[in-house]
Amino acid sequence: MIYIEQPVDIEVFRFFWNRKLDSLFARLSFRYLLIWGLETNSLTHELALTYLLNREIKNISLLDRLALTYVLIRKGFQRNSLFDRLVRAYVVHRGLETRNFFDILARSFVHLCKRSGKPQTLFEKMALMYLVKRCDEAVHKGLSVVGLEDVVDLAEVEGINFINQNLQRILKTPLAWQTAKIVVACRVMKAFYEENTHEFEYTAELGYWTAALHYLRELEKEEN
């Protein structure tokens, strides 16, 4: 139980305190899949990534989707064929080169994971089963090779990004700003003392909130 003796912005406090990190764990697992994954050149792997990509960009034109799918499967433009040059020109002309494939794929994977307890199509079930299995394998391999260092680094980036994404919320009043610092510090303590036998999640959560707290303090120093 956390007791706060000074005034706080209830809305801001609840927003940070109730923040669940399932999306963080999914994004980190997916990052490990791209770095340490097995069978990354297999047809099944390419189909799964293609499904994730098109699931997330279904609102753009068919030609745009085809171009991005081509770039994804080819892992960029590694060759200089005529068709590669044509696709590259199209991608640049349409402003698609600024698309971050990891963010698109990771966001799609997170959304897919959130639907795990809901009615799913056959494609959703197959993609989720395959990707979760491969992500677990990739995490295990990554941890066995480099330990937890990458987990900390990636989680810290996500924690800083989270603060940046919510700056407007926490800067609206001095009380909101102070509340953000208090509640993030509480989340650090909660993560540190929480019993979690899954070292991947424990390390990610602690790194996430610690980086968020340090970043808030850095922003405060810059303001002063």
> Is the residue at 137 inside a domain?
yes
> Is the residue at 144 inside a domain?
yes
Domain span including residue 108? 10-223
Give the pLDDT of residue 210. 96
Task: Tell me the pLDDT of the chain averaged across its residues.
Answer: 87
> Is the residue at 50 inside a domain?
yes
> Is the residue at 4 inside a domain?
no
Band of pLDDT at residue 2, cut at 50, 70 and 90:
low
> Is the residue at 3 inside a domain?
no
> Is the residue at 126 inside a domain?
yes
Global pTM? 0.81
Give the pLDDT of residue 76. 66
Band of pLDDT at residue 159, cut at 50, 70 and 90:
very high
Report d(CA 163, CA 212) in Å as an integer. Answer: 6
Q: pLDDT by residue (tens digit) across 101-146?
A: 888 999 999 988 887 667 678 888 888 899 999 999 999 999 998 8
Helix 122-146, helix 149-165: angle, nearest 10: 120
> Is the residue at 5 inside a domain?
no
Q: pLDDT by residue (tens digit) across 54-78?
A: 988 888 899 999 988 888 887 766 6
Report d(CA 20, CA 10) in Å as an integer. Answer: 17
Specify the number of domains making up the chain: 1
